[in-house]
Homo-oligomer: A and B are copies of this chain.
Amino acid sequence: MNGKDPIAVVMLLNKTGESEFSKADEELFQKYLNFASVILLQHHTAYMHDVESRKSQMLLWSASKVFEELTDIERQFHKALYTIRNYLKCERYSVGLLDMTKGKEFFDEWPIKLGLEEPYKGPKTSDGREVNFYKIIDYLLESKEEIKVIPNPPADHWALVSGLPTYVAENGFICNMMNAPADEYFTFQKEPVDESGWMIKNVLSLPIVNKKEETVGIATFFNRNDGKPFDEYDEQITECLTQFLGWSALNCDTYDKLNRMENRKDIAQEMLMYQTKCTKSELQSILNAKEKLNQEPEDCDQKELYKLLRTSIPQCKDVELLEFHFSDFPLSEHDLIKCGIRCFFELNVVEKFKVPAETLTRWMYTVRKGYRDITYHNWRHGFNVGQTMFALLMTGKLKKYYSDLEAFAMVAAGFCHDIDHRGTNNLYQTKSASPLAKLHGNSIMERHHLEYSKTLMENEDLNIFQNLQKRQFETVQHLFDVCIIATDLALYFKKRTLFQKIVDSTSAMTNEGEVLNFVSNNATRKEIIMAMMMTCCDLSAITKPWEVQSKVALMVASEFWEQGDMERTVLDQQPIPMMDRNKADELPKMQCGFIDFVCTFVYKEFGKFHQEMVPMFNGLMNNRMHWKELADEHEAKMKALEEERKRLEGGDTEGEGKSKTCTIF
């Protein structure tokens, strides 16, 4: 006995020399049996230990393979089974993979629906699929190991012809054929299955079922190694294994899903690029080589094209591109594309870095098209930031700290910095759980602008940095990271103290060469100044002449109010005062606050750093005065109204609860 379970029965027959066994015989036999029992039990326990040990080894090794990589079901099953083949203790095994398609295409149904073809009447899996093995993997373990993959096996393939795999697929049973040649229900081949002379003796076949209860394949094990038929423990072990394999099909489904998702993403991105890329006629509208040079741009000499661009694009002085007080209002959006290109010529980077004229034009045009037609964060804003960066470098004299390549990247990043802005801020992305927020944890929109800018660089037709060396190109990519992420105002306070320290240090220096050395020989200081320059550019509308600033401030506010409206309608939330159009009257006061708590630092410190930038600070102070005036006016009006209300209320409700306060004074 093993506890309460009988393990074996021993029977003694016909006592020698006596007619029957005595009481003493029984007792003696019982004693021997106790000992035999212990030995038997030990044998049984050792066998069970082997069974469990094989199970855990098989599971662990299969898992090791399953989690090695995401792959298709054929490869995954193959890898797992091949790894644990020695634990299986059989001569051969085969895995039949089942077609997972459910139902037919509409056009394949037509002949059936019209009665011209018989509907399928063959075996089906429990989840309603036609039983159809699209692949068999056959492993011969005996003597020389051999693996064969048979795609689309015919029905009379030796592994299928008995009908057993189909039967298992249909019914989901584990089938253990102890003596295959003698089986009457299934017709196993009685002669060797192939030229190797190998013959089927006993068979164990199990369904491989996934977590959705669909049979994905059939595993069949042939001829136990020791010649005996498979026993219940073999069934347990293989059941455990096939269960694991079936479940692990999740990874193959995921692999499929991931590939499909990636394909869809690639398709959408390619379509997007087609739709947003500067077209031939758009290119022509800026770089009119066909009219002027009577040739397609690709066929023209670059020098000719540069000349053409230079002459057909407004000079900096014509449109005040070098001025801090530049305004885009008099120019069309199309003109601004030309102005953008002009900046690069003025920086002398076009010829130096061999930017093909048509690539530059196409890129600038495509950047313009990347901006949406929204109230404030549109192409005009994008352009203004690029232009201000250009002005900071040239007029603000900050160029001296940076190489031509760095200046090139900084101005380009300026133009790109808000590309594809949707008129809503990072918090709105988070609150509305937009895909952008799910993708990027912080600096959500900035990371999006950056990714989009980089996508443009990946396109050879648009890559203005195409003729750089690898290291130079990496530098540009890094500068784009710094410049565009820096426009997240949430990071502004982080960099404020660092910038302050730099300005303080340089203020103490008397020698200009010392300052130059202090900044331009330190990559970190250059990055910090660059990041603060981006903020300086991004907020520069606040430093413009009052006619400009007052208009722009209203555009910014309008976009905020639109977001506020959406917060109310879409998110069902009360917007903050800045985004609440019912608090529009408080705009002047809020502008003063914004100037005091955010802007003043930037322009004051830059003014200290470079005297050439003081005009920006002056512009800011002038605007502060205007906003303060308006704020005071509004406050006075409110106060007057309040007093009027109190007066009226006092008259109306005299002697009531309200009068209490009156009597105190």
Contacts and interface: CB of A to CB of B under 8 A. Distances in A.
A72 B369 CA distance: 38
A495 B110 contact: yes
A480 B263 CA distance: 23
A224 interface: no
Contacts of A45: 42, 45-46, 49
Contact of A435 (B66, B106, B240, B267): B267
Contacts of A69: 250
A273 to B, nearest CB: 9
Contact of A270 (B106, B257, B435, B478): B435
Interface string A265-285: 111111110111001000000
A495 B114 CA distance: 12
A322 interface: no
Interface string A491-523: 100110010010000000000000000000001
A584 interface: no
A406 B263 CA distance: 32
Interface in A249-302: 250-251, 254, 257-272, 274-276, 279
Contact of A38 (B39, B49, B70): B39
Interface in A47-90: 48-49, 52-53, 55-56, 59-60, 63-64, 66-70
B63 A59 contact: yes
Given A55-B52, A495-B107, A60 B268 contact: no
A24 interface: no
Interface stretch (A132-140, A336-344, A525-533): A525-533
- Centre residue among A53, A481, A485 by max chain B CB count within 10 A: A53
- Centre residue among A38, A68, A243, A262 by max chain B CB count within 10 A: A262
B67 A250 contact: yes
A244 interface: yes
B49 A111 contact: no
A267 B527 contact: no
Contact of A261 (B53, B265, B275): B265
B248 A67 contact: yes
Nearest to A250: B67
Nearest to A440: B263
A60 to B, nearest CB: 6
A18 B329 CA distance: 120
A247 interface: yes
A527 to B, nearest CB: 7
A113 interface: yes
A647 B42 CA distance: 102
B498 A67 contact: no
Contacts of A495: 107, 110
Nearest to A486: B107
A211 interface: yes
A420 interface: yes
Contact of A63 (B116, B247, B279, B486): B247
Given A63-B63, A261-B265, 12 more contacts: A38-B38, A48-B49, A59-B59, A63-B247, A66-B247, A67-B248, A70-B250, A107-B531, A113-B524, A264-B435, A268-B269, A272-B272
Interface of A: 35, 38-39, 41-42, 45-46, 48-49, 52-53, 55-56, 59-60, 63-64, 66-70, 105-107, 109-111, 113-114, 116, 211, 240, 243-244, 247-248, 250-251, 254, 257-272, 274-276, 279, 369, 372-373, 420, 435-436, 438-439, 448, 478, 481-482, 485-486, 491, 494-495, 498, 501, 523-525, 527-528, 531
Please name the 5 residue pairs, one residue from A and one from B, whose CB atoms are nearest each other, closest first: A67-B247, A52-B52, A268-B268, A56-B56, A55-B56
